């Protein structure tokens, strides 16, 4: 029997039936635009080492994704810009001056192992950039914890712990504010203004709280993210710092990876909950784990590990926070 024409049948598909006209490439482009202020500050503060790290990470991620798609005999996904976002986020979570071959290794791990092995975008259980950073931190602990602070130190504003004479060096290595907090020495901390504008050692993209906040406002305005995860993440870290007395809340929030983690990492669509209730729980867990690792862990920073742990718990949170259908029994 000859089947009827397609027009004579209803086209059935699974939910959701309402589709947004916003595509993946536009969302990724918005994320790239939101990252431009903190990228610019990182380049201004750390110079060419930051430029090379960013360029190598982005190019390595693009090339790895292209090769993986060819090897898997699947269509190219470079047009969705997700590989560019992963490379940029990874670079912004690395110290300037890191050996470039390590940046390549981290990029290959992020795309090849953390993303494409699971099937590509939308199927990865962990944030690829954060998983790659954790891999690099464990594998290359020394280089991953060596921080440059060229712009301030050359001007004579070096903190204690810098390894070179400012007048004779183009760049010097310094201890981060979190390292001083870990030691209980709050006298060496930079001013709040330095933390806001990025005049302190740290990863390329995490030093300027103002630049990160500007990017967050842009993403909220474009409705790429909602307020739930950033608010609950940052609020939990602030309350914990006030209760513990380890350091002022503003210092804890404006140093390390809390700002970039709360705005750009924890809000990843694939690895974060889908409901508002789930997002609040997720952000709370990220903030609490981050502060617990900072205070009791072996590393001064705990943001990456906190988000990765909550990524693993995301399916459970989604199940628990799923709203009850109207009329359904408990």
Nearest-CA neighbor of 128 among 138, 142, 116, 141? 116
Element spanning 173, H or E: strand 173-174
Hey, where are the domains in the chain? 24-144, 148-189+220-317
Nearest-CA neighbor of 125 among 138, 141, 112, 114? 114
The whole-number pLDDT of residue 11 equals 58
Q: How far apart are the first and last CA of the chain?
A: 47
Give the tokens for residue 114.
């953390």
Confidence of residue 102 (pLDDT cuts 50, 70, 90): very high
**58, burial (CB in 10 Å: exposed 0-12, middle 13-18, buried 19+):** buried
Confidence of residue 293 (pLDDT cuts 50, 70, 90): very high
pLDDT digits 0-9 by tens, 68-95: 999 988 888 888 899 999 999 999 999 9
Nearest-CA neighbor of 232 among 195, 191, 277? 277
The answer to whether the beta carbons of residues 205 and 260 sit under 8 Å apart is: yes
In whole angstroms, how far apart are CA 258 and each of 45, 114, 157, 305? 19, 22, 25, 12
Dihedral sign, Cα of residue 183, residue 184, residue 186, residue 190: positive
Residues in the chain: 330
Give how far the C-alpha of residue 272 lies from the chain's centroid of Cα atoms, to the nearest Å. Answer: 13
pLDDT digits 0-9 by tens, 132-162: 999 999 999 989 988 886 565 444 444 444 5
Residue by residue, DSSP assigns 194-240 as: HHHHT-SSS-TTTS-HHHHHHHHHHHHHTTSS-SHHHHHHHHHHHHH
Q: Which residues pair with 174 in a beta bridge?
A: 147
Distance, CA of 4 to CA of 203 (rounded, Å): 61
The whole-number pLDDT of residue 157 equals 45
Confidence of residue 327 (pLDDT cuts 50, 70, 90): low
Torsion-angle region of residue 276: left (phi > 0), alpha (psi -120 to 50) or beta?
Answer: alpha
The whole-number pLDDT of residue 120 equals 85
- Tokens 């628990």 correspond to what residue? 320
pLDDT digits 0-9 by tens, 19-45: 666 788 899 999 999 999 999 999 999
Distance, CA of 236 to CA of 245 (rounded, Å): 14
């Amino acid at each position: 029997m000859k089947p009827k024409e397609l027009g004579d049948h209803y086209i059935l598909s699974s939910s959701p039936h309402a589709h947004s006209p916003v595509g993946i490439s536009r969302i990724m482009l918005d994320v790239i635009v939101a990252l431009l202020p903190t990228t610019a500050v990182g380049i201004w503060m750390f110079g060419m080492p930051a430029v090379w790290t960013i360029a190598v990470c982005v190019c390595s991620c693009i090339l790895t994704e292209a090769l993986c798609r060819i090897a898997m005999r699947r269509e190219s996904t470079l047009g969705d810009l997700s590989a560019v976002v992963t490379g940029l986020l990874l670079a912004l979570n690395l110290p300037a001056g890191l050996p470039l071959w390590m940046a390549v290794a981290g990029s290959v791990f992020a795309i090849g192992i953390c993303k494409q092995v699971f099937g590509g975008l939308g199927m990865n259980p962990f944030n690829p950039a954060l998983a790659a950073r954790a891999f690099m931190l464990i594998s290359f602990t020394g280089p991953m914890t060596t921080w440059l602070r060229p712009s301030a130190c050359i001007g004579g504003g070096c903190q204690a712990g810098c390894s070179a004479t400012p007048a004779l060096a183009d760049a010097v290595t310094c201890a981060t504010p979190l390292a001083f907090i870990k030691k209980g020495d709050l006298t060496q901390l930079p001013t709040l203004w330095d933390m806001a504008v990025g005049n302190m050692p740290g990863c390329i993209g995490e030093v300027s709280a103002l630049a990160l906040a500007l990017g967050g406002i842009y993403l909220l305005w474009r409705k790429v993210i909602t307020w739930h995860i950033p608010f609950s993440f940052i609020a939990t870290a602030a309350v914990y710092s006030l209760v513990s007395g380890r350091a002022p809340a503003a210092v804890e929030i404006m140093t390390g990876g809390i700002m970039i983690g709360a705005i750009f990492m924890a809000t990843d669509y694939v690895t974060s909950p889908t409901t508002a209730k789930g997002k609040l729980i997720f952000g709370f867990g990220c903030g609490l784990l981050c502060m617990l690792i900072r205070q009791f862990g072996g590393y001064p920073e705990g943001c990456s590990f906190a988000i990765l742990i909550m990524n693993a718990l995301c399916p459970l949170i989604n199940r628990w926070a799923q709203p009850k259908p109207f009329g359904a029994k408990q």
